[in-house]
Amino acid sequence: MALTLLFIGCGNMGAAIAGGAAAALPEARLVALDPEPERARSLLPPGSAVEIHATPEDLRISPDLILLGIKPQSFAGLAPEVLSLLAAAPVVSIMAGVPLTRLTSAIGHARVIRVMPNLPALVGAGMSLGCRAPGLADAALDALVAKVFGAIGRFDWASDEVAFETANPVFGCGPGFVFAIAEQMIRAAVAQGVSPGLADGLVRQTLFGAAKMLAEDARDAAMLKRAVSSPGGTTLAGLAVLEAPNALPALLPRTYQAAQARALELAALS
């Protein structure tokens, strides 16, 4: 029997995941619940077979898996009809800052998984990390979740929710940090006399190429760095500034710590 997946919330990320699931599970029935069906449809890949409904009363399904992709602040106001659906199937939440304890308490069972996809999932190059509710052991569910999120990039499991939250600044916030670095690289190039348009193109392709090498080359980051650094050359001269004790080696840990502290604050408020 074909699987039925229900997506509650079909915004940018929900639509990306649904589109990936449609490609990874061509025999599955994919249904989305979103109060703005036309907008949701516009976010899905052209020709997508995802069914979209505006209200829970329209649903006549028994889903095998539910993906909860609404805004965290909307969780407390879910309609009783939606809560009854959540109570009857395994649930994957991509809501930031809503811990497993609150999810399992509200849903009424422990077949709950948190997954955090990052922004590049929108272009099929995301990094998604999952964590299971304590005591949940379901190999078939694990495989299904990995297949759905593997369709929008790479997927991995955290050992528990503490490890999940600790890793979030690295991959969840990481794209924002990379974009900030790109922005500063462009500004620095322009300050050196490179035209803005050329600087933008050079930095985009440089970061893309470097990321592609990290993804596909067996060498680690340190080895790749050495490969581009000729003795006495220009790269080493720049790295001497970038890797000074009070520069990148001090700045990145502080950046991660600030993001982690804010994540803990948000979790306490949820």
Known binding residues for NADP(+) are: 8-13
- Residue 69 · residue 94 · CB < 8 Å: yes
Number of Cβ within 10 Å of residue 40's Cβ equals 24
Helices (H) and strands (E) in the chain, counts: 11, 8
- Cα–Cα distances in angstroms (integers) from residue 56 to residues 37, 38, 61, 79, in the given order: 12, 16, 10, 8
Q: Work out the burial of residue 210: count CB atoms within 10 Å of its CB; fewer than 13 is exposed, 13-18 middle, 19 or more buried.
A: middle
Number of Cβ within 10 Å of residue 151's Cβ equals 21
Calpha distance 233→215 (Å, rounded): 26
Q: Which residue ranges are tagged as binding site?
A: 8-13
Number of Cβ within 10 Å of residue 247's Cβ equals 13
- Cα–Cα distances in angstroms (integers) from residue 168 to residues 127, 147, 163, 178, 243, in the given order: 11, 21, 9, 14, 24
